[in-house]
Amino acid sequence: MRNLKPQLIELLKSGGCTPRISKLARNLHTRSSTIHYNIKSMEKDGTVRSYKAVFDYKKIGEGFCTFVLIHLSPDEYSDPLKIANMLAAYPEIESIDVVTGEWELLIKVRTASIEEYYTFATRVLSIKGIARTQSLNSLKQVKTEFVIL
Amino acid sequence: MRNLKPQLIELLKSGGCTPRISKLARNLHTRSSTIHYNIKSMEKDGTVRSYKAVFDYKKIGEGFCTFVLIHLSPDEYSDPLKIANMLAAYPEIESIDVVTGEWELLIKVRTASIEEYYTFATRVLSIKGIARTQSLNSLKQVKTEFVIL
DNA sequence: TATATTTTTGAATATTATCCAAATTATGAG
DNA sequence: CTCATAATTTGGATAATATTCAAAAATATA
């Protein structure tokens, strides 16, 4: 009997969900078919990107959360998206932004522990193009993905 | 005819969705009832916090994204959660973390534009207890909430 | 005002979630 | 190892829900 939960978590982390039309309809005192029409309209014009789950990350082995400020090497300044897009593929990374100020990129990383973060950092954040990093460790998550914890 | 989309967006931002069990079942080559059982199990034990939508934030009037580093006044050091929990109620704030380093809090804020951010900052970030802030503006979002853009 | 476009409605149908009792598999104590 | 217990899977039945569609209403456009 294989443990399905890890696979479910991976799928639900960025998709695999759908709006509860009838519940939303009751909530807004509107017919289901109207809600359906409006939601499909937002899906078609690209307003909605995905429907996904938010987890108690401690319970899925991603209890350690770090924000990493990244300084690129000068030859990457002209195209920070090259590095950013490469980083996007890592499942540990929740978000990636190109930002203003002394740092070029800000990423949010979730791992099981500080040891796993160290492994991640040495594996991923040591590539050519990343000149220097500074990390802010989250001591306590109060809100994430618009969900209050 | 009232425009339902703003209300739908508000509800879907932090909830109002559900997993697509049959789709997940097909994806994992497993019976629906098994997926159902596993998902309910994760809901019961608190592994899943919510099912929600991810938007193209430019299209919902939240195209301007800022990370704000917050330094609390010394009398708040002992309980940064007091301020953090107060901030959690604001719909503009996507995430709030208590962090290590020179700053006590790191929040992620979404507004329509830099003008609206200014309004937000003067309204929300000027309360007693917040001594100093520094903001990193997002020039480009590459990934958010585990969803690649 | 007339016409086109968008949105809503309600009913019919298709799809899906949910429930449940039985079967199977895993776990742990002795 | 063996038995007892708990956890998970299965398949079929039913309930709930999404989806479709044509007509109506509302809104925008000229």
Q: Which two tokens stand for residue B121?
A: 């900052």
Is A3 contained in some domain? no
User: Which of B80, B128, B129 has its CA nearest to residue B100?
Assistant: B80
- Give the nearest chain B residue to A55 (CA atoms): B48
Whether A75 and A93 share a structural domain: yes
CB A23 within 8 A of CB A9: no
Of B7, B49, B138, nearest to A56 by CB-CB distance is: B49
Total of domains in chain A: 2
Q: What is the pLDDT along chain A (149 residues), one digit of tens a residue?
A: 889 999 999 999 999 999 999 999 999 999 999 999 999 999 999 999 999 999 999 999 999 999 999 999 998 888 999 999 999 999 999 999 999 999 999 999 999 999 999 999 999 999 889 999 999 999 999 999 999 99
Whether A44 and A72 share a structural domain: no
Separation between Cα atoms, residue A140 and residue B106, nearest integer Å? 11
Residue with tokens 């107060």: B86
Is A110 contained in some domain? yes
Is A35 contained in some domain? yes
Is B22 contained in some domain? yes
Whether B31 and B95 share a structural domain: no
Q: Say yes or no for a CB contact (<8 Å) between B47 and A28.
A: no
Q: How far is the CA of A4 from the C1' of D9 (A)?
A: 12
Is B34 contained in some domain? yes
Whether A63 and A76 share a structural domain: yes
The domain that contains A62 carries what CATH number? 3.30.70.920
Contacts of A84 by beta carbon, 8 Å cutoff, 6+ apart: A96, A98, A105, B140, B142
Instruction: Residue B22: give the domain boundaries.
Output: 5-44
Q: H/E element holding A119?
A: helix A114-124
User: Is residue B46 pLDDT above 90, yes or no?
Assistant: yes
What pLDDT is attached to residue B91? 96
Whether A99 and A130 share a structural domain: yes
Q: Quick: pLDDT tens for B87-143.
A: 999 999 999 999 999 999 999 999 999 999 999 999 999 988 999 999 999 999 999
CB B65 within 8 A of CB B48: no
Whether A98 and A126 share a structural domain: yes
Cα distance from A26 to chain B (closest Cα, Å)?
11
Whether B131 and B71 share a structural domain: yes
User: Which of A71, A122, A125 has its CA nearest to residue A98?
Assistant: A71
Q: What is the SS3 assignment for A121? A: helix
Q: H/E element holding A140?
A: strand A130-144
b/e for B43-75, b at 16 or more Cβ within 10 A?
Answer: eeeebbbbbbbbbbbeebebbbbbbbbbebeee
Task: Give B5's Cβ-side CA count (13 Å radius).
Answer: 15
DSSP string, chain B: ----HHHHHHHHHH--EEE-HHHHHHHHT--HHHHHHHHHHHHHTTSEEEEEEEE-GGGGT--EEEEEEEEE-GGGTT-HHHHHHHHHT-TTEEEEEEESSS-SEEEEEEESSHHHHHHHHHHHTTSTTEEEEEEEEEEEEEEETTEE-
What pLDDT is attached to residue A128? 85
Whether B39 and B108 share a structural domain: no
Is A28 contained in some domain? yes
Chain B residue numbers with beta carbons less than 8 Å from the beta carbon of A114 are: none
Whether B109 and B39 share a structural domain: no
Separation between Cα atoms, residue B125 and residue A79, nearest integer Å? 33
Q: Quick: pLDDT tens for A81-103.
A: 999 999 999 999 999 999 999 99
Whether A105 and A67 share a structural domain: yes
User: A99 - beta bridge partners?
Assistant: B138
Q: Quick: pLDDT tens for A98-107.
A: 999 999 999 9
Is A144 contained in some domain? no
* Amino acid in the structure at residue A33: S
b/e for B92-104, b at 16 or more Cβ within 10 A?
Answer: bbbbbbbbeeebb
Q: What is the SS3 assignment for A29? A: coil
Is B52 contained in some domain? no
Whether A81 and A133 share a structural domain: yes
Whether B72 and B25 share a structural domain: no
Chain A residue numbers with beta carbons less than 8 Å from the beta carbon of B87 are: 142-143
